[in-house]
Structure 1
Amino acid sequence: MTAPYEQPQAPIWQGGQPLGSYISPIPVRRATLGDALASEWTKIRSVRSTVWTLSVMIVLMVGIGSLVAWAVSFAEQAPDGESVLPMGFFGVLLGSICVITLGVLTIASEYGTGMIRTTLTACPSRGRVLAAKSIVFFLLVFTTTTVTAALVGGIQVALLGGRAPTGEEWLRATFGVGLYVALLGLLALAVGALIRHSAGAITIMIGLVLLPLVLAMFMFSPSMADVQEALFSYSIPSQLAVLYDTSMTGSGPSGWDPLFIGAGVTAVAMVLAAFALNRRDV
């Protein structure tokens, strides 16, 4: 009689298992986009940079928007024919710097720490990793910005009164602003994937926000008038102001146009980021 470990093993080609092999009792399945989304959500909510950047953004939007409304309420009430929602513009503009920073850090920080190797080992499909990061980041920023913009608008209306904003004005100042800021953050994420360096990508994005306005301010020559107007009209602050029914030049994008322009630019940047991520080593 032979011991169990001395029992003859069937050949592997007959369905047997090699000696010393292990079969996990846990069912094995192929990874999906849902698994990548769950992984990215766990990462983005567990790092301190997310909490700090979004918290500062909320403080800036609520604090500056409320402070402007409070200061105006002491001077004079808002005219009956004007909406008070544009007073939230300055808080959103400064808060967008926080979103840009978070967008870059969402992917570039993994290159700095080497975490990107672990991420791509767990999920070899690089396109899926980029898609999961983009979806999680976009939904988080869009929700946070939209809710905060609505809160700021409610505070301003309560403090100043004036003409009640129309439905379209409310929609653009909340939903539209949330979409635009989330697209701006997604553009920063794409630049972070292309540059793979946090400080460099953040610097590029801040320059993209501020440089067109700075250049336009110093174009005094009449021959540069058309270029100056284009820089003013299509700069990011100017397009953000359009969503508040405020134009810096009186020409250029209007209504929902800034969202279409932002979506187009972001889509091109994301395609380039996906191409670079698939072609380069980590």
Structure 2
Amino acid sequence: MSTPQPQMPQAAPTTWQASSGPSYPTYTSPIPVVRTHLGHAIASEWTKIRSVRSTMWTLGVFVLLVIGIGLAAGALVAANSGEESLAGENPLSFGFFGLLLGSMCVITLGVMTTASEYGTGMIRTTMVACPSRGRVLAAKAIVFFSVAFVVTLVSALLVALADVAMLEGAKEPSAQEWLKGTVGISFYIALLGLLSLVVGSIIRHSAGAITIMIGLVLAPLVIALFMFSASLEDLRQALFEYSIPNQLSVFYSNSLTETGPSGWDPLWIALGVTAAAFAGAFALLEKRDV
């Protein structure tokens, strides 16, 4: 005879009823909600560029090259030249050598400002924090250009003041020469670095972008030196005239050629090329994945 099993009590059917009021009391966050803008992106990029070691090392070498070579060139000329031989010489022009070598540091820093984030994958975090890609590129450009311009201006000005004081027999630079030899050349170097930043954004590879920019600086002049054929004379002359070393020398009224860019022309050329490259980088940034 089987033992009857105890019967479990049946649960009463549950009736779900929507609540007519809020389930939780109203909560207001103490953190203010603000609409993000370009200023926030600039603050973020400023934190990045000043917190990485490569910035301090690169700019430190740049300052050392510009000031060290500029002062050494001025001191060497002052020690081995008389006042008569210095007559008519622009004392600001001896800063050219240091700035030409120092531009490699600015190029390197410009490339690393963008390309290094692609190499480490940090760009994904950046784009999550700021989905507006154009805003990120603009913030990087503003921060980098400001840093490069200020550092170059201070270095070039110190060299200019020291060389003018050392070379007593040289002519006194005019106001136009002071402006071109300090502010003008600083704008040009900063634009060269900004072009490097844009190329880094396009290439997304540090070594490749740096190689391209160094080639842009040195290749036209080196290629022109080995063009011996008479049929290539026009091309050879154009490469000389528009090479970056020659354009740098124009700011000191000491052009390597008698024709070609003069006055403020190199600055407008650099500005146009950089603007075109920036537009291309912006278009590619919107189309490609990060």
Alignment of 1:1-282 (within 5 A): 10-11=20-21, 16=22, 24-77=29-82, 79-161=86-168, 162-282=170-290
Contact between 2:90 and 2:252, CA under 8 Å: does it hold in 1? no
TM-score by length of 2: 0.90
Q: CA deviation at 1:63?
A: 0.4
Q: Distance in 1 between matches of 2:189 and 2:288?
A: 29
Q: What is the CA deviation profile of residues 172-223 of structure 1, one whole-angstrom value per residue up to 9, with x for unaligned ones?
A: 0100000000000000000000000000000000000000011100100011
Q: CA deviation at 1:160?
A: 1.1
Q: CA deviation at 1:20?
A: 10
Q: Distance in 1 between matches of 2:105 and 2:201?
A: 18
Q: Distance in 1 between matches of 2:183 and 2:152?
A: 9
Change (3 A) 1:75 1:10: farther
Q: CA deviation at 1:89?
A: 0.4
Change (3 A) 1:277 1:83: same
What is the aligned-residue RMSD (CA, Å)? 1.6
Q: Distance in 2 between matches of 1:252 and 1:133?
A: 33
Change (3 A) 1:22 1:86: same
Structure 2's unaligned 5+ residue stretches are 1-17
Identical columns (%): 60
TM-score by length of 1: 0.93
Q: CA deviation at 1:21?
A: 9.7
Change (3 A) 1:10 1:204: farther
How many residue pairs get matched?
270
Q: What is the CA deviation profile of residues 76-122 of structure 1, one whole-angstrom value per residue up to 9, with x for unaligned ones?
A: 14522221111110100000000000000001000011110111100
Q: CA deviation at 1:163?
A: 1.0
Residues 165-174 or 80-89, more deviating: 80-89
Contact between 2:241 and 2:257, CA under 8 Å: does it hold in 1? yes
